[in-house]
Amino acid sequence: MTPATTTLWRHAHLVTLDGDAGWGEVADGALLTEGGRIAWVGPEAALAQGLAGRPAPEAEHDLQGALMTPGLVDAHTHLVYGGDRAAEFELRLQGATYEQIARAGGGIRSTVAATRAASDEALFAAAARRARVLMAEGVTTLEVKSGYGLDATHEARCLAVARRLGRELPLTVRTTSLGAHALPPEYVGRPDDFIDAVCSWLPAQQAAGLVDAVDVFCDSIGFTPAQTRRVFDAAQALGLPVKLHAEQLSDQGGAALAAQYRALSCDHLEHLSDEGVAAMAASGTVAMLLPGAYYFLRETRLPPVAALRAAGVPIAIATDHNPGSSPALSLLLMLSMACTLFRLTPEEAFRGVTVQAARALGLPDRGRLAAGQRADLAVWDAQHPRELAYVFGHNPCRAVIHAGVARATGLTQGLRA
């Protein structure tokens, strides 16, 4: 059956997030989609005016007061990898630190070995299963980073698998090249040579259409600011935007460095300094907070949320799904954690997985309900959006609409034509 090109969604409790603050609620609202875009949003009482001069909608759904929001955006994941690291989880519970495990040859390197050994089909099947779990909770756009191949061939394989997710699933996938994630075994003692290699891979990745942005892990067990700058210079020469794993385990001044390149986002930020906050505010860089990793690693130093808020730095939230430090597959749980662990308000947290997460991917066409925006929507069995952060451990998502089409199998029961 060919999907309708124009669809009217009526009697919805709309949360538009239109504007810089507030939920933008429309208690009894209607929304019209044309193709993959929102054509009109407003109160049910103004529907006749909104439809004036337009052809009659091809499909109509009565939501009977259900909550409708923008589709969610998970703007930091490492979804493509082989194996797992459950044994390391047990070691940490016995007292080993993330840094000790990494320096002993575990951590990212163990996932690199498993990823290199996995076939393309195995990597895709595992990543698709993970993506579908996120989609079932209302995710319509996500980012996938590489970083578990760590050579030219396997990094390209992982990026290609991520691109395939976007082709074969009703999901928008943005890909980020994170070659400078860890030092692979063949480059032990030669980090600068490895950075040369990472920079040399970028032109081919871009030519093959595999990369939307470039990231680096700049930290005490990652790469230095000087090495990070070399990768950023290579990305900038290709016209690729950058982002940074910054200030997670120590303050390396990475956020201030990334701000010089007008980075899309700096991510983690538990050790972010006042200077880093000011630099990010000046550059418009998004602060990507990752409560799953904070929780899983049992960190105690909070990111400076009050300082970010005071400086007007936009705050986004993501799962950081990865096998070693955040094996989370629930963006809704991250909403709750962002509120309880980081003291964000429910509105701040929800904007963090919609408007601000989209901004962190350089995608201003989603995250709000407004005419001209992408018709990426989610329908919830909830009375108010604050409930999505308040209740955890269940999934209230009733329907997911991607590019104007309700496609999430099993989630569309209850929609009334």
- Whether residues 229 and 315 fall in one domain: yes
Instruction: Place 409 in a pLDDT band, splitting at 50, 70 and 90.
Output: very low
- On average, the pLDDT of the chain sits at 94
- Whether residues 56 and 94 fall in one domain: no
- Whether residues 66 and 149 fall in one domain: no
Residue span of the structural domain in which 49 resides: 6-70+368-406
Q: State mean pLDDT over 161-184.
A: 97
Counting residues of the chain whose pLDDT is more than 90, the rounded percentage is 88
Q: Which residue has the tokens 């899309």?
A: 264
pLDDT over 80 at 4, yes or no: no
- Whether residues 264 and 381 fall in one domain: no
| pLDDT for the residue numbered 412 | 42
Instruction: Place 2 in a pLDDT band, splitting at 50, 70 and 90.
Output: low
- Whether residues 189 and 122 fall in one domain: yes
Residue finishing a domain among 360, 380, 398: 360
Q: State mean pLDDT over 196-206.
A: 98
| pLDDT for the residue numbered 91 | 85
Buried b (16+ CB within 10 A) or exposed e, 306-340: ebbbebebbbbbbbbbbbbbbbbbbbbbbbbbbbe
| pLDDT for the residue numbered 347 | 98
pLDDT over 80 at 385, yes or no: yes
Domain count across the chain: 2
| pLDDT for the residue numbered 3 | 59
Q: Is 222 exposed, middle or buried (0-12, 13-18, 19+ CB in 10 A)?
A: buried
- Whether residues 314 and 328 fall in one domain: yes
| pLDDT for the residue numbered 65 | 96
Instruction: Place 417 in a pLDDT band, splitting at 50, 70 and 90.
Output: very low
412 found inside a domain: no
211 found inside a domain: yes
- Whether residues 135 and 283 fall in one domain: yes
- Whether residues 76 and 48 fall in one domain: no
414 found inside a domain: no
- Whether residues 119 and 12 fall in one domain: no
Q: State mean pLDDT over 259-288.
A: 98
Q: State mean pLDDT over 380-384.
A: 95
| pLDDT for the residue numbered 416 | 40
pLDDT over 60 at 414, yes or no: no
- Whether residues 119 and 152 fall in one domain: yes
Q: State mean pLDDT over 325-335.
A: 97
145 found inside a domain: yes
d(CA 344, CA 165) in angstroms, rounded, equals 32
411 found inside a domain: no
- Whether residues 150 and 139 fall in one domain: yes
- Whether residues 61 and 84 fall in one domain: no
416 found inside a domain: no
- CATH code of 59's domain: 2.30.40.10
Instruction: Place 20 in a pLDDT band, splitting at 50, 70 and 90.
Output: very high
1 found inside a domain: no
- CATH code of 144's domain: 3.20.20.140
417 found inside a domain: no
Q: State mean pLDDT over 166-180.
A: 98
